[in-house]
């Protein structure tokens, strides 16, 4: 006997993510999921962002890594609530990890919650974390064709931050090509070119955030 | 509670078996002999890797023998101008019918349990 179904494999994750999304919306919290390869600059972008924020801004970060709390310690210096999720092997954050991390954490009412995913351009893609928007960080020391190699990740992103543009004179990376590939995969994607080292382009990133807070 | 694995297809496979056991509960006494899955090209899941993980997780359990049928669902877009739905090839988002660039996402991120085949006692 064949029983037809239409059951989402990750419906348990999606159910938890929907609950988180409702909670964020009712509290007026903008939640951003940051995804990239290891070393593209997610933590540097967050350091720049927290460093730029006025202390009255209600911001917090949940940062995911397979091991160590190095990123949380880097980010904690800016005086905002930061918590490390150590996945102990898992290559992505899932909604339950976020829910658990929030359950016993009194970060107060938030304007913005950053979810820094585990550095990985494949696995985090499938997991809704209840975020309002998804940002993929690409850096110029990688290949321009990453959007074509990892279309699922770029297809689900609202914003691509192209980081390390201060290194463009020293690497063969062609930004126009990277942007063209990203727009082929996701025609609506917004793209910002920045350097977290020199600060170039970060004003546009801060504007992008401000429009959502 | 699902165990977490480094390879995300392993986590996905564990979710598949979880979903399968839940669905099978509505048919007490029956055993599942085959499960159909729909996996989209944009789901972020590598089908052969998923199959490997499913077989590894089923091996030696009460679910064995259990066959999996993986249907790959293409990356699709729809033209806002002429309404055509088309398969996206080489990440080209332009409408294959009229050439318009005004197109929207129309599927390819599925990750679904599509059917179960059951043997009644």
Q: What is the pLDDT along chain B (121 residues), one digit of tens a residue?
A: 344 455 789 999 999 999 999 999 999 999 999 999 999 999 999 999 999 999 999 999 999 999 999 999 999 999 999 999 999 999 999 999 999 999 999 999 999 999 999 998 7
Largest CA distance in chain A: 64
Check residues B83 and A55 and name the one with the higher pLDDT: B83
Structure-derived torsion over alpha carbons of residues B24, B29, B32, B36, reported in degrees to the nearest 10 = -40
Report the distance separating Cα B5 and Cα A195, nearest Å.
34
**Is A157 inside a domain boundary?**
yes
Quick one: pLDDT at residue B1?
37
Query: ipTM of this complex > 0.90?
Result: no
Please give the sequence-ordered ranges of beta strands (E in DSSP) within chain B, or none if there are none. 31-40, 67-73, 76-79, 85-87, 103-105, 111-119
CATH of domain B8-119: 3.30.2320.80
Sign of CA dihedral B52, B57, B59, B63: negative
Nearest CA in chain A to B103: A187
**Does A147 sit within 8 Å of B91, measured CB to CB?**
yes
Written as six digits, the tokens of A10 are 């990750």
Interface of B with A (CB under 8 A): 4-8, 11-12, 15-16, 18-19, 23, 27, 30, 37, 41-45, 75, 90-93, 101, 103, 105, 109, 111-120
Q: Which domain holds residue A86?
A: 11-210
Report the number of distinct structural domains present in chain A.
1
Report the distance separating Cα A15 and Cα B76, nearest Å.
25
Average pLDDT of the segment spanning A107-130: 94
Interface of A with B (CB under 8 A): 1-13, 66, 87-92, 94, 122-123, 125-126, 147-148, 151-153, 155-156, 181, 184-185, 187
Q: Which of B66, B93, B91 is nearest to B79 (CA)?
A: B93
**Is A1 inside a domain boundary?**
no
Report the distance separating Cα B116 and Cα B34, nearest Å.
6
Structure-derived torsion over alpha carbons of residues B92, A153, A128, A4, reported in degrees to the nearest 10 = 50
Chain A residues whose beta carbon lies within 8 Å of the beta carbon of residue B27: 3
Nearest CA in chain B to A4: B115
Q: Which of A2, A12, A89 is facing B4, going by the closest CB pair?
A: A89
Average pLDDT of the segment spanning A137-156: 97
B90/chain A closest Cα distance in angstroms? 8
Q: Residue B63 gets which letter from DSSP?
A: T
**Is A137 inside a domain boundary?**
yes
Nearest CA in chain B to A6: B114
Collapsing DSSP to helix, strand or coil, A109 comes out as coil
CA-to-CA dists, residue A91 to A106, A118, B9, B49, B72, angstroms: 26, 6, 10, 15, 24
Nearest CA in chain B to A125: B44
Quick one: pLDDT at residue B83?
97
For residue A122, count other CB atoms closer than 10 A to its CB. 20
Average pLDDT of the segment spanning A73-95: 93
**Is A27 inside a domain boundary?**
yes
Sign of CA dihedral A65, A68, A72, A77: negative
pLDDT in tens, A11-47: 999 999 999 999 999 999 999 999 999 999 999 999 9
**Does A126 sit within 8 Å of B19, measured CB to CB?**
no
CATH of the domain at A77: 3.40.50.300
Report the distance separating Cα A100 and Cα A93, nearest Å.
11
**Is A3 inside a domain boundary?**
no
Average pLDDT of the segment spanning A152-165: 98
**Is A145 inside a domain boundary?**
yes
**Is A2 inside a domain boundary?**
no
CA-to-CA dists, residue B93 to A157, A184, B80, B90, B104, angstroms: 16, 6, 12, 9, 8
Interface-testing mutation among B42, B110, B121, with chain A (most A C-beta atoms within 10 A): B42
């Amino acid at each position: 006997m064949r029983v037809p179904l239409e059951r989402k494999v990750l419906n348990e994750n999606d159910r938890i993510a929907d609950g988180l999304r409702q909670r964020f919306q009712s509290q007026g919290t903008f939640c951003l999921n940051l995804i990239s390869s290891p070393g593209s600059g997610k933590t540097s972008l967050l350091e720049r962002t927290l460093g730029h924020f006025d202390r009255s801004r209600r911001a917090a970060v949940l940062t995911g890594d397979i091991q160590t709390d190095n990123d949380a310690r880097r980010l904690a210096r800016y005086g905002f609530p930061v918590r490390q999720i150590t996945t102990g092997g898992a290559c992505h954050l899932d909604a339950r990890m976020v829910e658990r991390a929030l359950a016993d954490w009194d970060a107060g009412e938030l304007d913005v919650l950053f979810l820094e995913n585990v550095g990985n351009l494949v696995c985090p893609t499938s997991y809704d974390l209840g975020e309002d928007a998804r940002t993929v960080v690409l850096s110029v020391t990688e290949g321009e064709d990453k959007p074509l190699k990892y279309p699922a990740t770029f297809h689900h992103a609202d914003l691509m931050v192209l980081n390390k543009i201060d290194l463009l004179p020293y690497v063969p990376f062609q930004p126009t090509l990277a942007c063209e590939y990203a727009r082929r995969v996701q025609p609506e994607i917004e793209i910002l070119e920045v350097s977290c080292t020199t600060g170039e382009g970060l004003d546009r990133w801060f504007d992008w955030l401000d429009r959502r807070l | 509670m699902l165990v977490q694995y480094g390879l995300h297809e392993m986590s996905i496979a564990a979710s598949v078996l979880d979903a399968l056991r839940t669905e099978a509960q509505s048919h007490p006494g029956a055993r599942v002999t085959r499960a159909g899955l729909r996996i989209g090209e944009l789901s972020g899941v590598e089908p052969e890797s998923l199959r490997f993980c499913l077989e590894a997780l089923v091996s030696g359990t009460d679910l064995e023998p259990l066959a999996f049928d993986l249907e790959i669902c293409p990356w699709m877009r729809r033209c806002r101008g002429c309404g055509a739905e088309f398969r996206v090839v080489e990440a080209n988002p332009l409408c294959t019918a009229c050439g318009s660039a005004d197109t929207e996402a129309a599927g390819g991120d599925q990750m679904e349990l599509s059917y179960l085949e059951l043997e009644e006692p």
